[in-house]
Structure 1
Amino acid sequence: MRTQSLWEHTLTFFPQFLATLRERVAPDATVAVVGASDGKFVLPLATAGYRVLAIERDALSLHGGEVSLPGDTRAHAMGLIDRLKLEGLYDQVRLAEEDFLHGAPLNIPCDAIWTSCSWHYSANHHRPLAEFVDRMQRLVRPGGLFGAEFMMPVEKRHHLVEHYTSPERLRHHFVGDWDVLLTLRTNEFTERAHIGQLKDHTHRMGLLLAARTSTLPHSYRKKDS
């Protein structure tokens, strides 16, 4: 790709999600990305041939503008819309410029859904984590895939906020017609400064992948890790 996301070098479990996606849904399936930002995950999905629903409320992420970068510098960042046009992918992506937690849940059934470290942001703490998860689950068709990577507690204050969760706690939301396929976690690691975090900082991250009423034989299902 000719453009790089401002988040290009941050750690992600997205390759695990993408591999499972390829195993379980059609090549032209519809995939929703909650917290699309400037397209770190949207562009690869569209390039791979998927139809993408990109949900993002931040105007800067969508339309671009001036941002602060590590090293006390400022630069113009290209937004998701211009990145899609530059890469010739604009027609494959449907943009929903709105707050995912505001108003009635979206009624746009998808074959898969993905979010990356979105619900730990303080702007989303005014609603329970269960509501965020439920709204994502409602978008997934039977047989579809749910994927979320998330921040786990590191500092003492994190343990007081349910949105810094763990695979064990999160999987309690996946009962009934949900089958948890894979959970992963990291140890504490230091991530280099990036937009939004202008100093080196410590993280722990988790992943949960789940399928809604899996249509594959049991032998193909992934085990927890």
Structure 2
Amino acid sequence: MQTQSLWEHTLTFFPQFLAALRERVAPDSTVAVIGASDGKFVLPLAAAGYRVVAIERDPVALHGGDVHLPGDSQARALGLIDRLKLEELHERVEVVEGDFLEDAPLGRHCSAVWTSCSWHYSANHHRPLAEFVDRMQRLVRPGGVFGAEFMMPVERRHHMTEHYTSPERLLPHFLGEWEVLLTLRTNEFTERAHVGRPNDHTHRMGLLMAARTSTFTDHF
């Protein structure tokens, strides 16, 4: 791709999710991306032949704008919408601008849903983590795939909120109608400074992927 995401070089388990899609989901199926940002995952999914519902609340991530870079510099960043047009992928992506916890398109079912390190942000702490997970699950049709990578607790303050979690703590949300396909975790690692984090910092990440095996009643 000619354009590049601001998050291009951050660590991700996305290749494992993409491999699960290729094994379990038909080409041209619809994949929802929660917290789509500027398209780090949306564009590769669309380029791979999937149709994508991209849900994002940040206007700069969607429409572009000025961002502060490490080293106290500033740059003009492309947003998701312009990146899609430049890569000629816009016809394969439906962009939903809104808060997933308030405006999630719960009336539709997709073949897969993916989120990357989104629910640990403080803007999502006013609602229980279980609600975020449940809303994602409700988007997945029978036979579909759920994928989430997330921050695990490292600092003391992380242990004070459930939104920094682990695969083990998430497993109770995937009983009954779900088959857990894969859980992974990293050791602590140092990530280079990036947008929003002006200094090098320590992370630990986890992954949970599951397949939905039966139907359920949507009570929203």
TM range (shorter): over 0.9
Per the TM alignment, residue 196 of structure 1 is displaced from its structure 2 partner at its CA by: 1.1
| Residue 111 of structure 1 pairs with residue 86 of structure 2 | no
Q: Which residue of 2 aligns with 1:155?
A: 155
Between stretches 15-24 and 205-214, larger displacement belongs to 205-214
Q: Which residue of 2 aligns with 1:97?
A: 97
Question: Hey, what's the Cα distance between the residues in 2 that align with 1:165 and 1:143?
Answer: 26
User: Residue type of the partner of 1:84?
Assistant: L
Per the TM alignment, residue 171 of structure 1 is displaced from its structure 2 partner at its CA by: 1.1
- 8 Å CA contact 2:110–2:144 kept in 1: the answer is yes
Aligned residues: 214
Using the aligned pairs only, state the percent identity.
79
Counterparts in 2 of 1:129-168, with a 5 A limit?
Answer: 129-168=129-168
The TM-score, its normalising length taken from structure 2, stands at 0.96
| Residue 60 of structure 1 pairs with residue 60 of structure 2 | yes
Per the TM alignment, residue 189 of structure 1 is displaced from its structure 2 partner at its CA by: 0.3
Where structure 1 has 5 or more consecutive residues not aligned to the other structure, the ranges are 215-225
| Residue 30 of structure 1 pairs with residue 30 of structure 2 | yes
* Aligned CA distance change for structure 1 residues 74 and 16 (closer, same or farther; 3 Å): same
User: Residue type of the partner of 2:171?
Assistant: R
Question: Hey, what's the Cα distance between the residues in 1 that align with 2:178 and 2:40?
Answer: 27
Deviations 1:68-99 (A, max 9, x none): 00111000000000000000000000011010
Question: Hey, what's the Cα distance between the residues in 1 that align with 2:25 and 2:75?
Answer: 39
Q: Which residue of 1 aligns with 2:218?
A: none
User: Residue type of the partner of 1:143?
Assistant: G
Deviations 1:141-197 (A, max 9, x none): 000000000000000111110000000001110011100000000000000000111
- 8 Å CA contact 1:153–1:165 kept in 2: the answer is yes
Between stretches 9-18 and 103-112, larger displacement belongs to 103-112
Once superposed, what is the RMSD of the aligned Cα atoms? 1.0
- 8 Å CA contact 1:61–1:80 kept in 2: the answer is yes
Q: Which residue of 1 aligns with 2:21?
A: 21
Q: Which residue of 2 aligns with 1:179?
A: 179
Question: Hey, what's the Cα distance between the residues in 1 that align with 2:38 and 2:198?
Answer: 18
Per the TM alignment, residue 106 of structure 1 is displaced from its structure 2 partner at its CA by: 2.2
SS at match of 1:49: coil
Question: Hey, what's the Cα distance between the residues in 2 that align with 1:19 and 1:118?
Answer: 21
* Aligned CA distance change for structure 1 residues 28 and 94 (closer, same or farther; 3 Å): same
- 8 Å CA contact 1:105–1:135 kept in 2: the answer is no
Q: Which residue of 2 aligns with 1:6?
A: 6
Question: Hey, what's the Cα distance between the residues in 2 that align with 1:39 and 1:104?
Answer: 18
| Residue 43 of structure 1 pairs with residue 43 of structure 2 | yes
User: Residue type of the partner of 1:96?
Assistant: V
SS at match of 2:94: strand
* Aligned CA distance change for structure 1 residues 195 and 212 (closer, same or farther; 3 Å): same
Question: Hey, what's the Cα distance between the residues in 2 that align with 1:160 and 1:71?
Answer: 31
Per the TM alignment, residue 103 of structure 1 is displaced from its structure 2 partner at its CA by: 4.9
- 8 Å CA contact 1:152–1:165 kept in 2: the answer is yes
Q: Which residue of 2 aligns with 1:76?
A: 76
User: Residue type of the partner of 1:151?
Assistant: M
Per the TM alignment, residue 37 of structure 1 is displaced from its structure 2 partner at its CA by: 0.1
